[in-house]
Amino acid sequence: MNRRYFLKNTSLAGFTISSLVTATPANAQPDNNTEDIKAIDIAEATIDDLQQRMKSNQLTSKALTAMYLKRIQSIDKNGPAINSVIEVNPDALSIAEALDKERKTGKIRGPLHGIPVLIKDNIDSGDKMMTTAGSLALVGNKAAKDAFIVKLLRDAGAVLLGKTNLSEFANFRSSHSTSGWSSRGGQTKCPYVLNRNPSGSSAGTGSAVAASLCTIGIGTETDGSIVSPSSVNGLVGIKPTVGLWSRSGIIPISATQDTAGPMARTVKDAAILLGALAGADSADAITAQSNGKVQKDYTTFLDATALSGKRLGFDKSTLRGNPDIVALINKTLELLKAHDATIVEIDLLKPVYALGDAEFEVLKYEFKDGLNKYLAGANAPVKSLKEVINFNNQHEATAMPFFKQELLIDSEEKGDLNSKEYTEALAKSTAARKVIDDLLQSNNLDAICGPTNGPACCIDLVNGDYDNGVSLSSPAAMAGYPHITVPMGFVHQLPVGFSFFSTAYEEPKIIALAYAFEQATKQRKAPEYLANIR
């Protein structure tokens, strides 16, 4: 069952919540010594665009970083005030300046050299920034070292610009939560229409990348939390195979399903980031399975003709609900056929949903186990899930002003990972792998495709999130398989994404399909920050 449904996951973008909490300000400002380089329009700028400008001395990383910091102040903290950045890195400018000095000596680490990146606030960074999962209970938690993927990010030459807001504890706190809200960071808004929320738990990364507050961003997903905010924010999001990217140093939900992944405005930018952060980590045993399967440069698979001759599975049960969305999906299927792809009707969602609540039970057991292990070694003032619950109860007015902590309590009541209920639920949930593999093999499919989910929902702090249409996140999430979403078009002024996924470590195949689809459709458009649907 899709976690977005049993959490009623999708909406929020409140205008008054920030007055109820204390969020860390974006306090790193461009200094007076920033190079006198003519400002450029960084909205929608790609990695290639920026690297070319830095190569030709039209731009430095320090000047670029200063431009993003200024944009964060003008768009994120003021103006439309989308509130996607929970904290900026006070060392961002000095990091960029050091990378500029390397460039001057001829040292270029790769395509990410000097590129500013925002990461989700559940990913450790061994610097002056906190890692809180958006929770007031974790305020003060400064990691002793970088998460493995953050170390790789720095090694690749990226500038860690700051951290993004998220649905608190990656939207695993309440059964009727509102996406994009955290007790520490307040409410994040969808930059396309400000009275709607950016969906999923990686809401802040989705809004920030869509609004060009960074070049690329990193989100995390258990079920839908990369692909859903990418879809509703007109982005490309890649949920990698579980094991392609390390999870060590990331506040967890599920050891079975968790992974971080790229969120970008183009397939190529997402592919660049995917390869840079892939690799085995001794602190995360599942990454050993990626040995021999990692591609360090996924851009080599970008092929504008990749749809030709491919067989794509499609579940027609996704053709229900909002007639505007159905019309958009049908138009997309005709486009795929026009590019010589064969659409094969399959029955995917029914057998996956038949697995019942097994996934949800797995998440509750693994959340308790994983969070207790993380907090035991962290610098947070709370050291266990039980202490988080107690903190929230003691600070109810600020920690739980709109919804409570039913999922935290339910998880705390679970036993350990030797429990019969857990092992049986795990076997049932991971049976999604067989469902997908059997469909791929029996129908000779290259991938499965369909709508990622519906458009962004309205903010509703009273009732929480609501169903915004058929979602395709759960099958790949439960299986731990790779999933990519690409902008498909708009329903009114709201973006909607289209998904491709396949079996384990087939990132090259789905990236190729997504790139061909992107080049054929060109549906990515910058947000207009509308107050309401026109």
Tens of pLDDT, residues 323-378:
999 999 999 999 999 999 999 999 999 999 999 999 999 999 999 999 999 999 99
What domain range includes position 363?
A: 3-521
Strands 311-314 and 447-451: parallel
Name the band, by pLDDT with cuts 50, 70 and 90, for residue 35.
low
Q: How far apart are alpha carbons 170 and 221 in whole angstroms?
A: 8
Name the band, by pLDDT with cuts 50, 70 and 90, for residue 24.
very low
Say whether 201 is catalytic: yes
pLDDT of residue 467: 83
Say whether 350 is catalytic: no
Task: Tell me the three-class secondary structure of 488-505, residue by residue.
Answer: EEEECCEEEEEEEECCCC
Nearest of 84, 67, 71 to residue 23 by alpha carbon: 84
Q: Which two tokens stand for residue 225?
A: 């939390």
Q: Which amino acid is at 77?
A: K
CB 164 within 8 A of CB 85: yes
Characterise 8 by phi-psi region: left (phi > 0), alpha (psi -120 to 50), beta (else): left
Is the sign of the CA dihedral 412, 416, 419, 424 positive or negative?
positive
The reported pTM is 0.93
As a whole number, mean pLDDT of residues 263-292 equals: 98
Say whether 120 is catalytic: yes
User: Is there a domain that residue 534 lies in?
Assistant: no
User: Is there a domain that residue 528 lies in?
Assistant: no
Give the active site residue among 183, 202, 212, 225: 225
Burial of 317 (0-12, 13-18, 19+ CB in 10 A): middle
CATH classification of the domain holding 167 = 3.90.1300.10
pLDDT of residue 321: 87
Give the active site residue among 8, 120, 368, 414: 120
Number of domains forming the structure of the chain: 1
User: Is there a domain that residue 533 lies in?
Assistant: no
Sheet of strand 447-451: strand arrangement: 85-88, 159-164, 116-120, 216-221, 259-264, 236-239, 483-491, 494-501, 447-451, 311-314, 342-345
As a whole number, mean pLDDT of residues 396-402 equals: 97
User: Is there a domain that residue 531 lies in?
Assistant: no
Tell me the per-residue pLDDT of 490-500, one tens digit each, with 9 for 90 and over.
999 999 999 99
User: Is there a domain that residue 44 lies in?
Assistant: yes
Q: What is the dihedral of CA 503, 504, 509, 510, to 10 degrees?
A: 70
CB 504 within 8 A of CB 480: yes
Element (DSSP H or E) covering residue 392: helix 385-394
CB 406 within 8 A of CB 174: yes
Give the active site residue among 179, 201, 207, 246: 201
- Output Rg (C-alpha) for the chain, integer angstroms: 21
State phi, psi for 245 to the nearest 5 degrees.
-110, 140
Q: How far apart are alpha carbons 259 and 238 in whole angstroms?
A: 10
H helices of 72-134, in order, are 92-104
3-state DSSP assignment of residue 183: coil
